[in-house]
Structure 1
Amino acid sequence: MDFDYYTTFGTMFRAQRGARMIVLEHSEKGSYHTCSTVTRYTTEVSPYGFTKGGQICILAANGLVALVDISRTDDPYPDSFPVKITVWSGTYE
């Protein structure tokens, strides 16, 4: 999946190689339908906004759709993030 976690030039989650990311609101359900229809695209986001948990949709350039479910952490500036990744077969286009 075209998604990386960078710490070299500022800690960021970044979409790579034509992928797009969507940071879901807490009121939105992390699902294939949500990820393939919401269009608030971004290419990078600070992970520190996810210390209370959250979800990011990844739309790969090849059409794959994934959901990154970030677990809550008690550290406000963690070195790592526990995640669960779901990749759906099929494409969003």
Structure 2
Amino acid sequence: MGKNALSEIKLTLDSFIGERIRLKANSGRRKTIERTGILEETYPSVFIVKLDEDQHAFERVSYSYADILTESVELKVFQNDQLIPVKYISTQ
């Protein structure tokens, strides 16, 4: 499951490169951060999100595919004025 699941998440995100997304990340001690931006690039271990300039102090953030697998990061893609969740669902 481990390596294959991460590869499937990467392949899913590859199809959304350049799309506007909203992410919700757990930052510990009951804190969650919500950010919006553009899925800029995917790499073998991480993906990069370019954040909206006027809303955030940072220009870009990166997260690993394991963050999606463990649900410490939730991604939703804006498509046709709707938010579509990006999740890994095991087929076993």
Q: TM-score range by the shorter chain?
A: 0.3 to 0.5
More helix by share: 2
TM-score normalised according to structure 1 size: 0.37
More strand by share: 2
